[in-house]
Structure 1
Amino acid sequence: MRLLHPSGAVVHLAYCTNVHPAEDLAGIHEQLTGVAARIRALSGAGRLGLGLWLSRRAARALRDDPAKLTRLRARLDEQGLEVVTLNGFPYGGFHDEVVKLRVYRPDWAEPERLAYTLDLAEILTALLPDDVTEGSISTLPLAWRTGWTPAKAAAVNANLTVLARGLRALAERTGKTIRVGFEPEPGCVVETTPQAVALLGGADPVHLGVCLDACHLAVGLEEAADAAALGLPIVKLQVSSAVEAPAGGQQALAAYVEERYLHQTRCAAGYTDDLPEALAGGLPADLPWRTHFHMPLHAAPPPPLTTTAPYLEELLGRLMIPDGGLAAPLTRHLEVETYTWSVLPGPVDIAEGIAAELDWTRRRLAALGLKEI
């Protein structure tokens, strides 16, 4: 869906389809006519924005057969759906029984990541609505931190140079600018926004920037004001919340231990790569913890647990209304990205949940002065 910012800029709000398991084109078409259509109906959106996730397998099929790409664009139009942003973080297997660290492979030192991202950029130019000339792709924060060497850093820099060159050539050929945002995440080479500045500050500012994930920033204990003022282009904001446990109440987090995804956990005095390690004594219990478990935006977990929704609301305000005035927003692409519905405790209706998250978000944006188009 689209919202008009007080400055006159159009802000795009979407939900990320990496919550759905399909990795081939047949499954993606089924998503569009099934759950996405239902979310659109539940949300009452005239046009529903999708942060489309295309696995490597699906992206290759679209790249190799223009007719399939044309059919996908037609299906989006038929269903009242639009795509201005892609999630290019998971390469494939995002709904395997165990994902954990495999979500970071291939990383930006490997040619497969570069080729995949350039294919996504080419695809996105064909999927953009006719009246939109700028798209975005979120991607991983270079690599997981272990194994980072000078040789690997050099390979990453070489690939980013080729990426920027390819995006510039694509813009010249199509008239459409595709921007890639690297997403800081706990435990990765680019874990914080200062690290993003240090490692990406010299990159092409027109085509490369950061994707801020509010859950990741909250787990990293970053101040919203600092994240909003990092000095790099903010290609996209992923609208998300982490789960938080008060001092002494951390055992309630045991309900969120599961085997599929990594749940980095932090407090003011330490960090663990996954929640079971923290619960086994890896973090002190006399301080609050935040865990990288994307929580529904609109619903609080059972006490004593809470979420970092207040942090998200502050971040939205700082990005949408910089300096409290009518200046343009610091990002125009927003993506609700609660991909953990399938591993949340208890029964859930994903379509109803995502529709409620979109409503939660647009109500916050309306309070900031944005009006739905």
Structure 2
Amino acid sequence: MRLRHPSGTPLHLSYCTNVHPAEDLDGIVAQFDAYAVPIRNLLGADVLGLGLWLAAPVAAALAADPALRARFRRELDVRGLEVVTLNGFPYRSFQDPVVKHAVYHPDWTTPRRLAYTLDLARVLADLLPDDAARGSVSTLPLAWREPWDAAMAERAARRLDQLADGLAAVEAAGGRTIRVGFEPEPGCVVESTAQAVAHLGGADTDRLGVCLDLAHLACAWERPADSVAALRAAGLPIVKVQLSAALQSDDPRALDAYAEPRFLHQTRNPGGGAADDLDEALREELPGPWRVHYHVPLHATPAPPLATTAPVLREALKELAGGPYPLCDHFDVETYTWGVLPPELRPRTPEQLAAGIASELDFARAELRDLGVKA
């Protein structure tokens, strides 16, 4: 959706399609009809923004074929859909029965990660609306933290230099600016804002920056004002914001129903206690309170003693969009866990899922309106 900051700057609000499993063009277009168009209608929006996820094979096919990209762009246009941001974190198979650590591969030490990200940039350059200032691609925070050594860090640094050069070539070829945001996440090489500054501070900040995922920020127990100030002081742009909320509980026993086999749910307490997955935290009886990397619907209020980190989201939005000018213009709702929620909370039909995502977008739109942003 198109929104407007009081400064006059356009803001883009979208939802991320990595919640859907299709990894071929026909399946992706079918998802537009099953979910995106109904969501647009429920919101009464003339145009709905998608934070599109394209698995590596379909990204490569689109990047290699200008005619195919043009056809895909028409499929979006005729449905009142637009794309200014792509999610390039999962490489493929993101809704498989078991994902866990596989989502961090290939990592930024490999040529495959570089090739995939540049494919996405080439595709996005042709999907961008004509009046969009720029596009964004989010990606993983270099790698999972283990193994990681000086040789791997050097290879990753070379890949980032090659990425910046490739993005410059995309811009020179088509005149569209595409920026890549590295997404700090618990357990990764870049987990915190401080680590983002340490690892990315020497990068080409015209084209590379940070994707700020607000559930991840909350799980790191960081204060949004401090994190935003540190990124600004380092000159690292916030390329994209993922609007997400994590689970929180003072009573860890209430989280049993959320331990599931598909995704990794890193768990943290404010004293620095950490577990790489929720079932590990439960088994080891990590002291509470806990914040769990489990993206829950933004608008939902779980039954006590469970809560969400929506207050952190509100604090972050105030820092990012509540000032005289916005610090980011791409906001993407990223709740990919609808299919693994406890059974009683899980949507059973496409219509129910579309209604849930529409409610999240309406929640996000209302939060931005409270800051003076206009629809």
Matched position secondary structure for 2:295: strand
- Tell whether 2:339 aligns with 1:338: no
- 2:363 paired residue number: 360
- 1:321 paired residue number: 322
| Structure 2: runs of 5+ lacking an equivalent | none
- Tell whether 2:258 aligns with 1:261: no
Matched position secondary structure for 2:194: helix
Matched position secondary structure for 2:305: coil
Q: Which whole-Å CA distance do the structure 1 matches of 2:285 and 2:93 have between them?
A: 29
Q: Which whole-Å CA distance do the structure 1 matches of 2:3 and 2:95 have between them?
A: 32
Q: Which whole-Å CA distance do the structure 1 matches of 2:80 and 2:25 have between them?
A: 18
Q: Which whole-Å CA distance do the structure 1 matches of 2:296 and 2:33 have between them?
A: 26
Q: Which whole-Å CA distance do the structure 1 matches of 2:177 and 2:205 have between them?
A: 12
Q: Which whole-Å CA distance do the structure 2 matches of 1:98 and 1:75 have between them?
A: 31
- 2:41 paired residue number: 41
Offset at residue 50 of structure 1 (A): 0.2
Matched position secondary structure for 1:371: coil
- 1:369 paired residue number: 372
TM-score by length of 2: 0.96
- 2:19 paired residue number: 19
Q: How does 1:117-136 map to 2 (within 5 A)?
A: 117-136=117-136
Offset at residue 33 of structure 1 (A): 1.9
Offset at residue 358 of structure 1 (A): 0.4
Structure 1: which 4+ aligned runs deviate by more than 4 Å?
Answer: none
C-alpha distance after superposition, 1:206-237 (max 9, x if no partner): 10000000000000101111122122100000
Q: Which whole-Å CA distance do the structure 1 matches of 2:293 and 2:113 have between them?
A: 24
Q: How does 1:76-115 map to 2 (within 5 A)?
A: 76-115=76-115
1:234 to 215, 238, 242: 238
Q: Is the 8 A contact 1:4 1:370 kept in 2?
A: yes
- 1:213 paired residue number: 213
Q: Which whole-Å CA distance do the structure 1 matches of 2:64 and 2:168 have between them?
A: 22
Offset at residue 282 of structure 1 (A): 4.4
Q: Is the 8 A contact 1:272 1:282 kept in 2?
A: no
Matched position secondary structure for 1:34: helix
Q: Which whole-Å CA distance do the structure 2 matches of 1:237 and 1:66 have between them?
A: 29
Q: Which whole-Å CA distance do the structure 1 matches of 2:169 and 2:192 have between them?
A: 30
The more displaced of 152-161 and 274-283 is: 274-283
Offset at residue 301 of structure 1 (A): 1.3
Which residue identity is paired with 2:328? T
Q: Which whole-Å CA distance do the structure 1 matches of 2:81 and 2:220 have between them?
A: 34
- 2:180 paired residue number: 180
Q: How does 1:43-82 map to 2 (within 5 A)?
A: 43-82=43-82
Which residue identity is paired with 2:301? A
C-alpha distance after superposition, 1:92-125 (max 9, x if no partner): 0101110000000000000000000001000000
Q: How does 1:253-332 map to 2 (within 5 A)?
A: 253-269=255-271, 270-284=273-287, 287-322=288-323, 326=324, 328-332=325-329
Q: Identity of counterpart residues, as a percentage? A: 59
Q: Which whole-Å CA distance do the structure 2 matches of 1:282 and 1:209 have between them?
A: 36
Which residue identity is paired with 1:33? D
C-alpha distance after superposition, 1:23-56 (max 9, x if no partner): 1111101011221111111111110000000000
> RMSD of the alignment, in Å?
0.9
| Structure 1: runs of 5+ lacking an equivalent | none
- 1:350 paired residue number: 353
- 2:189 paired residue number: 189
Q: Is the 8 A contact 1:39 1:351 kept in 2?
A: yes
Matched position secondary structure for 2:8: coil
Q: Is the 8 A contact 1:5 1:370 kept in 2?
A: yes
Number of residue pairs matched? 364
C-alpha distance after superposition, 1:59-107 (max 9, x if no partner): 0121232222111100100000000000000000101110000000000
Matched position secondary structure for 2:300: coil
- Tell whether 2:32 aligns with 1:32: yes
Q: Which whole-Å CA distance do the structure 1 matches of 2:244 and 2:82 have between them?
A: 21
Offset at residue 9 of structure 1 (A): 0.5
Q: Which whole-Å CA distance do the structure 2 matches of 1:166 and 1:64 have between them?
A: 15
Q: Which whole-Å CA distance do the structure 1 matches of 2:147 and 2:284 have between them?
A: 26
Q: Which whole-Å CA distance do the structure 2 matches of 1:43 and 1:344 have between them?
A: 24
Which residue identity is paired with 2:173? R
Offset at residue 133 of structure 1 (A): 3.7
C-alpha distance after superposition, 1:302-331 (max 9, x if no partner): 221000001100100111023xxx2x2000
Matched position secondary structure for 2:179: strand
Q: Which whole-Å CA distance do the structure 2 matches of 1:213 and 1:334 have between them?
A: 10
Q: How does 1:235-250 map to 2 (within 5 A)?
A: 235-246=239-250, 249-250=251-252
TM-score by length of 1: 0.96
Q: Which whole-Å CA distance do the structure 1 matches of 2:92 and 2:13 have between them?
A: 24
Q: Which whole-Å CA distance do the structure 2 matches of 1:74 and 1:63 have between them?
A: 16
Which residue identity is paired with 1:371? K
Q: Which whole-Å CA distance do the structure 2 matches of 1:32 and 1:66 have between them?
A: 21
Matched position secondary structure for 1:188: coil
Q: Is the 8 A contact 1:133 1:175 kept in 2?
A: no
